[in-house]
């Protein structure tokens, strides 16, 4: 373990099941995140959006457009634009949302936010690590990743960050995915990679695993077997996405190897 980060290079997804029992049964509280590609950094979606669109057009009477180094929307403008866009779309008499609750609602409907999705269940995190067969590479081509990853983050020490990293778990009744995915959100400083932040915050700490990284090799058969095993545990699209789109994605998954015994379930 180096600088509060401990990495585990596993031989297969089955090793994750046994390690989970060994490492987390008696440990302080951890939350988990699964990523389809081991090489993806722990950065927020709004930071990725700003990296993609770093310039703002200078509005003037000049015939030639000019740009300057600034995102098209500041964070507050981005959130306020979302507030305006969802007016009349949350049903009758919706409960008011503070900023954190609004970010969470947006996060679960595709809005770029300063939040990272985590879950209280290591196996739901494993599902999200293996859910997608292919991912986009640096050249925007779809490829199968060589390794997938699950993170475990200790929430018992986040108070030591003096609020720079905080858990966001608002009480809201109209976000069903939040409940179904046993979800919890982590708000991180802008333009920050969470792993780099942990390494800096807990520099030279070799005793406390603040962030645990599980590197899991990926093969096509392993992916199918992992998802089939998780499905037997009730972890699938239909449970995690409690709407019609989730039901549709679940039925589509029945075509994949390992799910044959579930087809005749009427």
For the chain, give every domain's residue range.
5-57+67-262
| C-alpha triplet 38, 40, 41: angle, nearest 5° | 120
Token pair recorded at residue 183: 């979800």
Quickly count: other Cβ atoms within 10 Å of residue 192's Cβ: 18
Size (the chain), residues: 266
CB-based contact 130:123 (threshold 8 Å): no
Model-level pTM? 0.86
Most confidently modeled range among 13-27, 37-51, 154-168, 247-261? 37-51
Token pair recorded at residue 158: 């986040």
The dihedral through the CA atoms of 190, 214, 210, 155 has a sign that is: positive
| Rounded Cα–Cα distance for residues 97 and 83 (Å) | 9
| Rounded Cα–Cα distance for residues 221 and 258 (Å) | 9
The whole-number pLDDT of residue 15 equals 95
Judged by DSSP in three states, 237 sits in helix
- Is the model's pLDDT at 63 over the cut of 60? no
Judged by DSSP in three states, 185 sits in strand
Lowest-pLDDT range, 89-93, 173-177, 197-201? Answer: 173-177
Q: What share of the chain in percent tops pLDDT 70?
A: 88
Mean pLDDT of the region 106-116: 91
CB-based contact 30:208 (threshold 8 Å): no
């Amino acid at each position: 373990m180096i600088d509060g980060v401990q990495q585990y290079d596993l031989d297969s997804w089955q090793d994750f099941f046994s390690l989970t029992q060994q490492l987390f049964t008696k440990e302080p509280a951890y939350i988990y995140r699964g990523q389809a590609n081991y090489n993806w950094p722990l950065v927020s979606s709004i930071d990725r959006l700003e990296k993609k669109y770093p310039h703002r057009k200078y509005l003037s009477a000049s015939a030639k457009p000019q740009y300057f180094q600034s995102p098209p929307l500041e964070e507050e403008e981005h959130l306020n634009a979302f507030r305006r866009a969802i007016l009349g779309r949350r049903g009758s008499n919706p409960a008011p949302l503070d900023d954190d609750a609004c970010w969470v609602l947006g996060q679960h409907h595709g809005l770029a936010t300063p939040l990272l999705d985590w879950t209280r269940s290591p196996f739901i995190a494993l599902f999200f690590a293996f859910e997608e067969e292919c991912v986009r590479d640096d050249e925007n081509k779809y490829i199968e990743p060589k390794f997938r990853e699950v993170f475990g983050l200790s929430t018992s020490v986040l108070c030591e960050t003096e609020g720079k990293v905080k858990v966001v778990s608002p009480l809201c009744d109209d976000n069903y995915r939040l409940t179904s995915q046993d979800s919890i959100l982590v708000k991180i400083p802008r333009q920050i990679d969470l792993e780099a932040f942990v390494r800096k915050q807990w520099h030279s700490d070799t005793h406390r695993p603040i962030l645990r990284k599980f590197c899991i090799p990926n093969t096509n058969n392993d992916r199918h077997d992992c998802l089939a095993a998780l499905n037997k545990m009730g972890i699938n699209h239909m449970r995690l996405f409690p709407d019609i789109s989730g039901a549709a994605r679940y039925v589509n998954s029945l075509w994949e190897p390992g799910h044959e015994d579930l087809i005749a379930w009427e």
